[in-house]
Amino acid sequence: MEIQQTGTDLQFLQKYASGCKIAVELGTFQGGSAQTIAPLVEKLYTVDVFESTETIRDDLMKDYYGNMKVDKEDCLYEKVKERLSQFNNVVVLKSLTYEAVSLVPEQVDYLLIDADHTYFGVAYDFFSWYKKVNIGGKILFHDSVHRGWGGVTDFVSSLITHSKCHIELVEDSDNPDCSISAFVKRM
């Protein structure tokens, strides 16, 4: 299984995961980000629907995964569990991202949102998990800048300009090979 992120994306993820205790990744896909984050945190929960591409609402994403031939025969969930089995601090959850909130008992220091790329999907993930993030916790959005996907980019822009949430944009990658925005929860 190949890693979908660029090397620059992975470095960005590592930078913000370093020193965090509890991390959550929404949108595991093949486990590349999880493999990068796991050595840097005490515990990582990684959440995805895996084989069930029928739940993807974004037509562009559905085509993207369809072209990669991700389907039920691939047993992606089992492959990801095997890939991440080298880490005793990783919990792989097969679930809709917003339903997995109740499966994570701890408060979170690091939240990576990289699942449903529609505006409403990103918003639903953000608002479902926001209360779980500790003050000072990091919230990252993948595919938000440069090669960004419309829904993710639009939601991140709305957070910056209109949000009543107590978060602060700390970094938008200025590198065209990276597509991540990082926020910190302030209150």
pLDDT tens per residue across span 107-154: 999 999 998 888 888 999 999 999 999 999 999 998 767 566 678 888
What is the band of 103 on the pLDDT scale with cuts at 50, 70, 90? Answer: very high
What is the pLDDT at residue 73?
Answer: 46
Question: What is the average per-residue pLDDT within 164-182?
Answer: 75
Strands in 69-115 per DSSP E: 90-94, 108-113
Do 155 and 120 form a contact (C-beta atoms < 8 A)? no
What is the pLDDT at residue 49?
Answer: 86
Query: Quick check: 106 pLDDT over 90?
Result: yes
If you average pLDDT over every residue of the chain, what do you get?
A: 83
Domain ranges of the chain: 7-185
Q: How far apart are CA 37 and CA 180, in angstroms?
A: 15
Q: Classify domain 7-185 at the CATH topology level.
A: Rossmann fold (3.40.50)
Q: How far apart are CA 126 and CA 164, in angstroms?
A: 13
- Residues with Cβ within 8 Å of residue 135, at least 6 apart in sequence: 185, 186, 187
What is the band of 11 on the pLDDT scale with cuts at 50, 70, 90? Answer: confident
Task: Tell me the sheet residues that pair with 15.
Answer: none
**Rounded to two decimals, what is the model's pTM?**
0.86
